[in-house]
Chain A
Amino acid sequence: MSHDQKSIHLRDMHGLTVQGPVEWTEEEKAEIAAIVAKYPTQRSAIMPVLWKAQRKWGWLQFEVLKLVAATLSLKPSEVMEVATFYTMFKKEPTGKYLIQACHTLSCALLGADRVIRHIETKLQLDEHGNSPDGKFTLMRVECLAACGSGPMMQINDDFYELLTEQKVDEILDAMAADRPLPVPRPEVDQWTYTPVS
């Protein structure tokens, strides 16, 4: 986690304006109450409520963080320190499809760099990892626990494994056209269930 990046994120958060009302619906308020009830302290609900906010608003603008703080009777700084510590909480907007490509050792041994460079070229990504139409954002991330089926990437919530350039093309072409994709089953690899003779 680079500290420089963090301070840039914070500045951006203050500088960006919010569109539309930042508030929960009655239904969401009830869902949050159910989340809070799972824990003995209200503060423990920070991460689940931040997830909920990120799903609703796409990323965690400063106004959203303030709402989460108010919801849980906490100070905005207390929510902010949690939101900035964890890399999956987005402090800036990303494309509709957030690609997190693993580049840690096991994937790297199997050609992750080649696959990632292919994604960069194919989507014409800029230095921030965004495609010209803003639809895709690529992040190189550390190990996602799919080492046996690398190279791999996570797009939004789902894992895509055993990647080749051709497979990447199929996946990204479908997303570029917003064609519904088959629900990816983690390709928990083909060998594990084979009895050893």
Chain B
Amino acid sequence: MDVYPRILSRIWGVPGSHTLAVAEQHGAYNAARKALAMSPAEVTDVVLKSGLRGRGGAGFPTGRKWTFVPPPEKRGGKPVYLLCNADESEPGTFKDRFCMWNDPHQLIEGMIIASHALGVRRAYIYLRGEFEYVQRRLDEALAEAYAKGYLGENIFGSGFSFDLYTHLGAGAYICGEETALISSIEGYKGQPRLKPPFPAVKGVWESPTIVNNVETLAAVPWIIENGWEAYKAIGTEQSPGTKLFSCSGHIMKPGVYEIPLGTPMMDLLNKWCGGLRPGRTLKAIIPGGSSVPVMTPAEVAQANMDYESINKVAGSYLGSGGFIVMDDTTDMVDALTNLLRFYAHESCGQCTPCREGSAWMYNILCRLRDGLATEDDLVALRDLADNIHSRTICFFGASAAMPVQSFVTKFRDEFVARVESARAGLPAGLAVAK
């Protein structure tokens, strides 16, 4: 295995890594000092050239997103806001929790640098409600940074002043969608908004707003300190850098692993994740969080862990890097039913295709799981998924549709077998090889 720098998980596992004293021993806030001596445009340029892409799921180039903020004369006197998306709620994803728990100062430093680049005076970290204990740790880290003068007025004597706050959600998956997050922090139901206007032009409190994921912002200090060339040298041409993968399911060593983008998927599975449980064979992998299309073993064997390869090989996405492994003991009908219960529960209810469709798909899958479905149900399931995809305000509709479309297509035999066993009057699941 090649040697590569650990960027995000650099000090994870070091005792007291979450404290300012230990983080500073490992170079925390050096990058912020360096960035505050640069012009905002220079900082943005470095991030742009590094090729860093948004780690929340969409993979949009971060530097480019930053350039969408209108220049001061076109903001109508409005301030610019930076929101850190720490809602981490995509099933199979738990890397941001590790980032904030193990190295909160890396995120704070990233936000200082980003705010300097964007001209932000006030920024917020939006955490999912269940992360109250993570919020406590972040608040402690913020207090330490304020006490040292790394936050607040005139940071490092640069003239740049910046305040950073945490904001706690209260249990709504949809708030990880950037416009829903904006609605939520404004004190409304967390329902997504139509784009355009894009948040960079008109976001929170009607002001230009940049929403970046925790892992994205945490990568910024290293890039500033080591230069965009160093970052670009890791990973692939179009997917530079390292990424955190949250690995779960039927593997020997579940956990969060930082690896260079472009690493073969089989290497992640066998080398980092410790492979499958003894005596088991691979049935499927969901590579990027529950919303992305599932992959078959044949696809897994050909794909690399980067944005382009997964899409090219399997029509799937790298997403948030939630790597869910399923071995041959997995019943794919049960697995999909489980996922659709999630989507039916979490639809915000705003758009009819998603609100009604996700519940319908779940109902059909329950019938299928319980041995009560017919061939018509399989057709209806596919039809519903196809009609939800791309017909909603936000991407949630597609996120509920893609697992259905991919499971039913790629593991069709298991779904058909369920229908056939139902027709033959056999108990549910009997026709499915265990």
> Chain A residues in contact with chain B, CB under 8 A?
1, 3, 38, 40-41, 43-48, 50-51, 81-82, 85-89, 100, 103-106, 108-110, 141-150, 154, 157-159, 186, 188-194, 196-197
- With a cutoff of 8 Å between Cβ atoms, the chain B residues found around residue A186 in the complex are 97, 101, 133
**CB contact between B171 and one of A87, A110, A148 (< 8 Å): that residue:** A87
- With a cutoff of 8 Å between Cβ atoms, the chain A residues found around residue B330 in the complex are 109
A86 to B91, CA, bound (A): 18
Name B's interface SS: mixed
**CB contact between B324 and one of A38, A106, A144, A149 (< 8 Å): that residue:** A106
- With a cutoff of 8 Å between Cβ atoms, the chain B residues found around residue A1 in the complex are 345-346, 349
A86 to B92, CA, bound (A): 21
- With a cutoff of 8 Å between Cβ atoms, the chain A residues found around residue B185 in the complex are 44
The answer to whether B189 and A105 touch across the interface, beta carbons within 8 angstroms, is: no
A47 to B1, CA, bound (A): 47
- With a cutoff of 8 Å between Cβ atoms, the chain A residues found around residue B341 in the complex are 142
Name A108's closest neighbour in chain B (CB-CB).
Answer: B338
The answer to whether B186 and A47 touch across the interface, beta carbons within 8 angstroms, is: no
The answer to whether A196 and B168 touch across the interface, beta carbons within 8 angstroms, is: no
Chain B contacts with A in 101-119, Cβ cutoff 8 A? 101-102
Q: Beyond A109-B249, A147-B248, is A51–B12 a contact (Cβ under 8 Å)?
A: no
Name B87's closest neighbour in chain A (CB-CB).
Answer: A145
Name A2's closest neighbour in chain B (CB-CB).
Answer: B345
What mask results when residues 231 to 259 of chain B are scored 1 for a CB within 8 Å of chain A, else 0? 00000000000000011111001111100
Q: Does B93 contact A (CB under 8 A)?
A: yes
- With a cutoff of 8 Å between Cβ atoms, the chain A residues found around residue B254 in the complex are 147-149, 189, 191
A193 to B98, CA, bound (A): 11
The answer to whether A192 and B349 touch across the interface, beta carbons within 8 angstroms, is: no
Q: Does B271 contact A (CB under 8 A)?
A: yes
A47 to B181, CA, bound (A): 12
The answer to whether B130 and A148 touch across the interface, beta carbons within 8 angstroms, is: no
**CB contact between B255 and one of A40, A89, A189, A197 (< 8 Å): that residue:** A189
The answer to whether B274 and A191 touch across the interface, beta carbons within 8 angstroms, is: yes
Name A85's closest neighbour in chain B (CB-CB).
Answer: B189
- With a cutoff of 8 Å between Cβ atoms, the chain B residues found around residue A149 in the complex are 254
The answer to whether B13 and A193 touch across the interface, beta carbons within 8 angstroms, is: yes
Q: Does B415 contact A (CB under 8 A)?
A: no
Q: List 4 other contacts, CB 8 Å, given A106-B249, A147-B93.
A: A41-B205, A85-B172, A105-B91, A143-B342
